[in-house]
Amino acid sequence: MRPIHWWFFWWEEIIPSLYRVVAVGVGAVITATALALIAGTGWVVASLLATVGWIVLAILQDRDQRVHLDVNDEFQALLRDRADPALARAGFVFNLAQGPCRARSDRSDTFLYEADNPAEGCIDLWIRRHRSGGPMEVSVDGRPLERLVVSHGHPQLAARVTRAERPADDVTALVAAFALVLPELSR
């Protein structure tokens, strides 16, 4: 399925709203042309076969895109054990843990915490962590955590919370960053 995913995701980059229709249409035209020229089938038969084939591929690709892998258990357990108490003191409640989409090349786990704020409504805290090292993105109410940490005068910690390395070290850095910025947000 990897080439089929690539085809649909490539069109998604070009035409986000209609990518599936365009991907099926262009794929059907190319396939119909190849069938008519190479196999010698008539244009009508080739067009019908190609269109039905690409619709089936679009359905299969869509279903595969909805399948998520399991979350990294070690990181989730450490996050829930070490970060939940600090987040709970600031009013945040764990809401979601979702593994990466099987069809996409991005292998990031996603975690969501939410807090009710009487003045602002719901505040979301998102954590996206690449499972094999690399980027880690954390935002609090739409603001990147690293910017909030830099504003408190801790540039090394700010840089650290943007990199996924080892689960235990990542959670330690996140807890330290939350301790800096969350009291300010709960005021």
| pLDDT-derived band at 143, boundaries 50, 70, 90 | very high
Query: And the tokens for 103?
Result: 């069809």
pLDDT at position 184:
61
C-alpha closest to that of 111 among 141, 132, 80: 80
Share of the chain above pLDDT 70, in %: 96
Tell me the two tokens of residue 42. 């008539």
Q: CA 23 → CA 16, 26, 106, 133, 184, distances in Å?
A: 11, 5, 21, 33, 47
Q: Is-contact 138 145, C-beta < 8 A? A: yes
Torsion of CA 168, 173, 176, 180, to 10 degrees: -150
pLDDT at 4 over 80: yes
CA distance 145 to 154: 12
Q: Is the pLDDT of residue 90 over 90?
A: no
pLDDT score of 166 more than 50:
yes
Mean pLDDT of the chain: 90
The whole-angstrom distance between residue 39's C-alpha and the CA centroid of its chain comes to 41
Confidence (pTM)? 0.73
Categorize the per-residue pLDDT at 187 as very low, low, confident or very high, splitting at 50, 70 and 90: very low
Mean pLDDT, rounded, for 26-39: 94
Our CA dihedral for 168, 174, 180, 184, rounded to 10 degrees, sits at -140
Residue type present at position 17 = S
